[in-house]
Structures are given as structure tokens and as C-alpha cells.
């Protein structure tokens, strides 16, 4: 009940206040216009006129188009005093039909039987050339009065002269910034004349900046704005957030618009109909210079160009894991700043960890002050040896442009216990052969015989005897036989390698066929393992690579030596890594199984074509 009584009381108070306040009508209009030119007059009244608001007519100034209406209200309560403000506005478009000085149509409103009228105000109508000269003189006076004060900001567009009837502007919210600090740029066209069409336009080049589009209307819309007391229609073409990439003076090139402007009307033709005077104009904004300051001293190796205000966290999905099985580490950066330009943080992983390139997830949105949200780097890690390992705290340094200082943030260190693996999980490991031998006396090395050797002198010499020649002949035949046998062995070994090379494609197709069966029976682990074996086996047989060299780094090195295209090698390694990743990552994060199967077959066929 109290709320109801309060509501009734306030309404009664507002009605009484409205009746008691002084009613006034104000008029905003240009002082000089060209003959035939369209111009706008804005009428404002501090009460609701209802349907009692009217505009008088004038023969020399004709109304054109429909009026645009609007209203605003506010309530303030200070120390128990209640104040309500209300304003009704109506904007009318007129056209001056002949030269001279004429009164602007007067507005009137009837409230409680009493009529209120706007004050009389004149407007001067001149020819087109006189209007142009007056506009140029006004613009020159404005420049002299403003001096060299730079360009207007987004927050104060009125600082720019409004003497031209059609002009383009690029507004920025700051003219000085640090590298990586966001700057809001707004690109608009202003006019107080009718534009029949825009033929073409050229947006500014933001060379030296990284640009993100905040707003770009699909359909150009006219909105009313007032600049230096002059009414204009503004057209928004684009609003962007730009990030300087280097220090120094960076120039934003002009915004250009090619449009058709109605400059006046004249009688013509056999029937005396009014004809429009249309000028094709190339409108161009002023170039704008942004002063970009370099980062101050105090950077650490963990600073990678982050500007804003951030926090960092890290989370691993397991604490204990067998060797050769993968786990994931997610590093998340949250806050506000230049997320679009953030790179992965510097992380020191143990040497026994095989780390894949991170999957990057962007979860931020653009705003007028930069990017807001988070960015996540997800690493897939394979520990190759058992033991207790520690990933040191991950540190990140960023620059706060508001405080003009650096700040270092970090995560907690991460401890991982790796137990002995039950199997190698289909991963090819480096093989280290054993080269040490045990040597025993009496077996491998015999002692020198001592004592009576029972040496007897022979009666004849063996040299050049029959037996000598027979032995030499047998030795020669034995050497020839050994050479032939050895050559045959070499040929046989060569043939084995050749057979493997020739059969590499066929063998890989068999494995892919087996993988297809596993795919159809939804045995994912066996499917990915078989696809990987098909690729590893193909490379080993086709290019005669030993098992101990079957690692991604060794394969790339060996294939580059054989002049294989690096892009094809990278494609092979990506498919192998995708197989490895798929065995441990969730299914939603892995490329479709069918696509993976097709990619594996395509890679093999590309290698076959390269070898032909």
C-alpha cells in the first residue's frame, strides 16, 4: 500500500510541477544557407505537447520530408527535493526557394488554453558561390582560433569545424599510446545535404597497427548529430580497435568517399518541373598521426608483448601416470588486453617429456577498450621415462599502460610422478645396442705353451714343393669362392631391400585395410595404432630406415637428405602426431576418424608419386 500511495503522490507532484513550470520553445537553425539547399531546424519544448504542437508555414521556406521527433526525461532527488526534467524535440527539414532574409517558421503549442510560441529568428538565403565562400571563411576562422591543437578525439567530436556541408572524419580516443595498447577508431561521414548515392569508398590503411573490427554496419544508416550548433546526419562506416605494433609516428591514411550530393534545385525543361543539381564529390578526411611510445626499461625474458591486465593459471589432468602415456596441461590466461597478439608462455619442461605444440582456444570478445576474456594453451605431454618430475612455475610478465609499469604473474609448480610403463603404447623408441664383451683367460685368450716343445728339423723345404703349389692353389680357389659367395650375399641383401622398397606401398595398404576393419568395429585404440604402423612401416621400407631411427626428428632429417619436399614431410609428421594425440585425447578434440584415414592414404600416395 505504501508503494501505491508513493506512486500516486509522485505522479500528482509531477503534474503540479508541469503545470507550474515555465514553458519555453527553443529553436536551433543555421544562419546562412544556399538557395535551393535543404537544411534542418530543431525545435525543443520543455513539456509534453501532445498533439497541440504545430509549425507555421512560410512561402519562401518550404517544408520537405517528414519530421523527426524525440523526447528525454530525468528525475533527481537531492536532500528531499524532487526535480523532473522533460524535453520534447522535433526536427524539420526545409528548403529555401529564393535569395533574401526570411523568418524561420515559428513553432507554437497550446497548453491549458494558453498558446506558447518560439522566438522569431531569421535566416539568410544566398546563392551557391556566396555560401561556399562563407563556409571556407568560417572554416579558416575556426582553424585560426583553434591553432595547432591536433585532431579531435572520439569523446569530443565538436572540436572539429562543421562549416562544410559534407565531410568525412576519423576519430580516435587517444593520439598517444604504447606498443600493443588498444586505440578505438571511428570512421564516419557527415552531411547536411541529401546524398543520392555512394559510388565507392576507401577505408583508411592502418599500416603499423593490428586491427580488429568492432562494428561495421551492413546497411548504412543516417543518425542526427550536432557539431558546433549545426545539425548533421552522420553515417557510420566502421568502428575498429587498433593495436600499434612498433614505436614512432604512425599515420592513419585518409578515409575517402565518392558520393553524389544534391546541391540545389532549379526550374527547367519544357514543362517547368524542378530539376535537381547533383554534384559528384570525392570526400576525404585528414590523415591522422598516432605517437607510439616504446616499452620502458624493466622487461624480463618472460615478457612477450602482453599489454593490459592479466592473471595466469595452470592445471594438469593427472598427478601420476605410467611412462609413454600422455597427459594434458592447460595454461589459461584471463583478463583484459591484447589477447589477439598473445603468444604461448615460456615453459621449461623436463628433458624426458615429449611435448606437442599446444592447442590454442580463444574465449575472448572485442570491446572498445580491447579484448576481454581468456586464452588457453593445452599441451599434450608424453613422459618417456619413469621418475619424479617437476614442471617449474610458469611466469608471465605484462605491461599495464595505465600504471605505466610491468607486473610478473606466475602459476604454482607442477609435480608429476611417472611410473614404469606396462608397454610402449605403440611408440617407437630409440635403441641403444650393448657393445661391452666379457673376456676370460683360458677360453678367449690362451697361455703361451712352455716346456719341451719336441722340435725336429725337417730334411726338405716346403717352399716350391708340390705340396706348396697345391696349398697355394687351394687358397686361391678358396679366396675366389669367398669373393663370389660374398658378392652373392651382398646381392641377396640388396634384393631384400629392393623387395621391401617395392612392396612398401602394398604392405601399407594391407595395414590400412586392417585399420578400416578396426574403424568399422569402433575399436579406436587398435585403429589409430594400425594407421600409425602403416605409416611408420611404409617410411622404413620405402627409404631403408632402421628401426632405431624411426623418430619424427630422425625421419625428417633422413627424408630431407633424400630431397623429399619438406611440406610433404611435415604432412606425414602431422598425421603421425594426430594418431598419437588421438590415442589419448578426448574424441571431441580429435579430427574425424574418416578424415584421418583418408589423410594417411593420401600421404602414402603422394610419396609414391614423388618416388616415381
Could you read off the pLDDT of 60-71 as tens digits, one per residue?
787 766 676 777
Q: What is the pLDDT of residue 249?
A: 94
For residues 53 and 90, is the Cβ–Cβ distance under 8 A? yes
Average model confidence (pLDDT) for the chain?
78
Q: What is the pLDDT of residue 309?
A: 94
SS3 content of the chain, % helix, strand, coil (to 5): 30, 40, 35
Angle between helices 524-542 and 593-611 (to 10 degrees): 10
Inter-CA distances, 140 with 110, 145, 150, 161, 170, Å: 44, 9, 15, 9, 20
Range 348-370 average pLDDT: 91
Cα-flanking dihedrals φ and ψ of residue 413, to 5°? -70, 155
Taking each continuous run of H as one helix and of E as one strand, the counts in the chain are 7, 32
- CA separation for the pair 398, 134 (Å, rounded): 53
Do 406 and 276 belong together in one domain? no
Q: Are strands 122-126 and 32-34 parallel, antiparallel or unpaired?
A: parallel
Inter-CA distances, 139 with 136, 162, 447, Å: 5, 8, 116
Q: What is the pLDDT of residue 419?
A: 93
Do 103 and 158 belong together in one domain? no
Do 84 and 180 belong together in one domain? no
Q: Above 70 in pLDDT, residue 392?
A: yes
- CA separation for the pair 306, 336 (Å, rounded): 10
Inter-CA distances, 323 with 414, 455, 547, Å: 17, 67, 20
Q: Above 80 in pLDDT, residue 372?
A: yes
Angle between helices 466-520 and 524-542 (to 10 degrees): 150
β-strand partners of 259: 198, 281
Q: At 96, which CATH number?
A: 2.60.40.10
Residues of the domain holding 92: 14-126
Do 22 and 116 belong together in one domain? yes
Q: Is residue 517 part of a domain?
A: yes
Do 318 and 353 belong together in one domain? yes
- CA separation for the pair 398, 526 (Å, rounded): 46
pLDDT band at 520 (very low <50, low <70, confident <90, very high): confident
Least confident range from 91-105, 126-140, 189-203, 419-433: namely 419-433
- CA separation for the pair 423, 323 (Å, rounded): 9
- CA separation for the pair 118, 124 (Å, rounded): 19
* Residue with the larger pLDDT of the pair 553 and 374: 374
Range 172-180 average pLDDT: 94
Do 409 and 288 belong together in one domain? no
Q: What is the pLDDT of residue 593?
A: 80
Inter-CA distances, 25 with 15, 53, 118, 119, 255, Å: 19, 11, 5, 8, 39
Summarize pLDDT for 395-447 with one digit per residue, the tens.
999 999 999 999 999 999 999 999 987 754 444 343 333 333 444 445 555 55
Q: Is residue 549 part of a domain?
A: yes
Do 222 and 254 belong together in one domain? yes
For residues 314 and 285, is the Cβ–Cβ distance under 8 A? no
Q: Is residue 440 part of a domain?
A: no
Do 193 and 269 belong together in one domain? yes
Closest to 399 measured CA to CA, from 175, 178, 174: 178
Closest to 356 measured CA to CA, from 380, 327, 383: 380
Range 87-93 average pLDDT: 81
β-strand partners of 566: none
Range 41-49 average pLDDT: 84
pTM for the structure as a whole? 0.47
Q: What is the pLDDT of residue 401?
A: 92
Helix (H, G, I), strand (E, B) or coil at 484: helix
Number of domains the chain contains: 4
Question: Which H or E run contains 62?
Answer: strand 61-63
Q: Is residue 529 part of a domain?
A: yes
Helix (H, G, I), strand (E, B) or coil at 411: coil
Q: Is residue 539 part of a domain?
A: yes
Range 350-377 average pLDDT: 92
Summarize pLDDT for 247-262 with one digit per residue, the tens.
999 999 999 999 988 8
Of the spans 153-157, 369-373, 505-509, 515-519, which averages the highest pLDDT?
Answer: 369-373
- CA separation for the pair 388, 383 (Å, rounded): 11
Do 210 and 228 belong together in one domain? yes
- CA separation for the pair 339, 366 (Å, rounded): 9
* Residue with the larger pLDDT of the pair 72 and 412: 412
Summarize pLDDT for 300-326 with one digit per residue, the tens.
999 989 999 999 999 999 999 999 999
Grid cell in block for residue 564: 623429399
* Residue with the larger pLDDT of the pair 76 and 153: 76
Q: What is the pLDDT of residue 582?
A: 73
Do 564 and 604 belong together in one domain? yes
Do 31 and 160 belong together in one domain? no
* Residue with the larger pLDDT of the pair 584 and 358: 358
Q: Above 80 in pLDDT, residue 464?
A: no
Q: At 224, which CATH number?
A: 2.60.40
CB-CB neighbours of 572 under 10 Å: 23
- CA separation for the pair 264, 248 (Å, rounded): 46
Q: Above 70 in pLDDT, residue 494?
A: no
- CA separation for the pair 134, 33 (Å, rounded): 10
Do 262 and 308 belong together in one domain? no
Question: Domain boundary at 395, 419, 443, which?
Answer: 419
Q: What is the pLDDT of residue 242?
A: 94
Q: How far is CA 520 from the centre of its chain?
A: 39
Q: Is residue 20 part of a domain?
A: yes
Q: Is residue 557 part of a domain?
A: yes
Q: At 406, which CATH number?
A: 2.60.40.740
Question: Domain boundary at 245, 260, 293, which?
Answer: 293
- CA separation for the pair 264, 37 (Å, rounded): 5
Closest to 93 measured CA to CA, from 131, 144, 55, 44: 55
Q: Is residue 134 part of a domain?
A: no
Please list, residue by residue across 72-103, b when 16 or more beta carbons sit within 10 angstroms of its beta carbon and e when fewer do.
eeeeeeeeeeeeeebebbbbbbbbbbeeeebe
Q: What is the pLDDT of residue 13?
A: 47
Q: At 588, which CATH number?
A: 1.20.120
Question: Domain boundary at 60, 92, 126, which?
Answer: 126
pLDDT band at 192 (very low <50, low <70, confident <90, very high): confident
Amino acid at each position: 500500500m505504501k508503494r501505491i500511495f508513493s506512486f500516486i503522490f509522485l505522479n500528482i507532484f509531477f503534474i503540479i510541477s508541469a503545470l507550474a513550470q515555465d514553458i519555453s520553445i527553443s529553436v536551433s537553425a543555421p544562419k546562412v544557407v544556399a538557395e535551393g539547399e535543404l537544411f534542418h531546424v530543431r525545435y525543443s519544448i520543455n513539456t509534453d505537447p501532445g498533439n497541440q504542437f504545430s509549425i507555421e508555414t512560410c512561402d519562401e521556406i518550404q517544408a520537405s520530408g517528414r519530421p523527426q521527433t524525440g523526447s528525454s526525461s530525468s528525475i533527481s532527488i537531492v536532500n528531499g527535493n524532487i526535480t523532473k526534467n522533460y524535453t520534447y524535440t522535433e526536427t524539420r527539414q526545409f528548403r529555401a526557394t529564393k535569395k533574401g532574409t526570411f523568418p524561420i517558421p515559428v513553432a507554437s503549442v497550446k497548453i491549458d488554453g494558453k498558446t506558447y510560441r518560439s522566438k522569431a529568428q531569421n535566416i539568410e538565403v544566398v546563392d551557391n558561390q556566396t555560401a561556399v565562400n562563407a563556409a571556407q571563411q568560417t572554416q579558416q576562422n575556426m582553424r585560426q582560433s583553434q591553432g595547432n591543437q591536433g585532431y579531435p578525439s572520439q569523446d569530443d567530436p565538436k572540436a572539429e569545424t562543421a562549416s562544410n556541408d559534407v565531410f568525412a572524419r576519423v576519430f580516435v580516443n587517444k593520439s598517444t599510446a604504447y606498443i600493443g595498447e588498444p586505440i578505438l577508431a571511428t570512421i564516419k561521414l557527415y552531411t547536411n545535404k541529401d546524398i543520392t548515392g555512394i559510388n565507392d569508398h576507401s577505408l583508411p590503411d592502418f599500416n603499423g597497427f593490428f586491427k580488429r573490427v568492432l562494428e561495421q554496419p551492413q546497411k548504412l544508416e543516417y543518425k542526427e548529430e550536432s557539431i558546433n550548433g549545426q545539425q548533421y546526419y552522420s553515417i557510420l562506416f566502421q568502428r575498429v580497435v587498433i593495436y600499434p605494433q612498433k614505436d614512432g609516428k604512425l599515420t592513419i591514411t585518409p578515409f575517402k568517399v565518392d558520393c553524389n550530393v544534391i546541391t540545389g534545385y532549379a526550374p527547367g525543361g519544357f514543362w517547368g518541373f524542378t530539376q535537381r543539381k547533383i554534384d559528384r564529390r570525392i570526400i576525404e578526411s585528414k590523415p591522422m598521426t598516432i605517437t607510439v611510445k616504446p616499452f620502458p626499461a624493466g622487461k624480463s625474458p618472460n615478457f612477450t608483448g602482453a599489454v593490459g591486465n592479466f592473471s595466469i593459471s595452470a592445471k594438469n589432468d593427472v598427478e601420476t601416470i605410467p611412462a609413454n602415456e600422455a597427459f594434458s596441461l592447460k595454461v589459461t590466461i584471463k583478463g583484459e588486453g591484447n589477447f589477439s597478439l598473445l603468444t604461448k608462455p615460456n615453459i621449461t619442461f623436463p628433458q624426458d617429456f615429449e611435448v606437442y605444440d599446444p592447442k590454442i582456444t580463444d574465449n575472448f570478445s572485442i570491446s572498445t577498450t580491447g579484448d576481454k576474456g581468456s586464452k588457453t594453451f593445452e599441451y599434450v605431454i608424453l613422459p618417456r621415462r619413469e621418475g619424479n618430475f617437476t614442471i617449474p612455475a610458469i611466469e608471465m610478465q605484462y605491461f599495464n599502460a595505465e600504471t605505466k609499469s610491468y607486473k610478473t604473474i606466475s602459476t604454482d609448480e607442477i609435480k608429476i610422478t611417472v611410473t614404469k610403463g606396462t608397454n610402449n603404447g605403440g611408440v617407437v623408441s630409440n635403441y641403444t645396442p650393448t657393445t661391452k664383451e666379457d673376456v676370460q683367460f683360458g677360453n678367449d685368450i690362451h697361455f703361451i705353451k712352455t716346456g719341451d716343445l719336441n722340435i725336429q728339423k725337417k730334411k726338405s723345404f716346403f717352399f716350391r714343393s708340390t705340396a706348396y703349389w697345391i696349398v697355394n692353389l687351394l687358397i686361391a680357389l678358396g679366396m675366389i669362392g669367398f669373393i663370389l659367395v660374398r658378392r652373392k650375399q651382398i646381392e641377396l641383401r640388396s634384393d631384400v631391400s629392393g623387395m621391401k622398397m617395392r612392396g612398401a606401398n602394398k604392405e601399407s595398404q594391407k595395414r590400412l585395410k586392417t585399420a578400416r576393419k578396426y574403424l568399422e568395429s569402433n575399436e579406436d585404440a587398435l585403429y589409430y595404432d594400425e594407421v600409425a604402423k602403416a605409416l611408420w612401416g611404409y617410411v622404413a621400407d620405402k627409404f631403408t630406415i632402421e628401426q632405431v631411427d624411426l623418430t619424427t626428428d630422425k625421419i625428417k632429417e633422413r627424408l630431407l637428405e633424400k630431397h623429399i619436399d619438406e611440406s610433404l614431410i611435415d604432412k606425414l609428421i602431422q598425421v603421425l602426431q594426430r594418431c598419437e594425440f588421438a590415442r589419448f585425447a578426448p574424441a571431441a578434440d580429435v579430427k574425424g576418424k574418416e578424415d584421418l584415414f583418408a589423410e594417411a592414404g593420401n600421404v602414402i600416395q603422394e610419396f609414391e608419386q614423388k618416388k616415381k
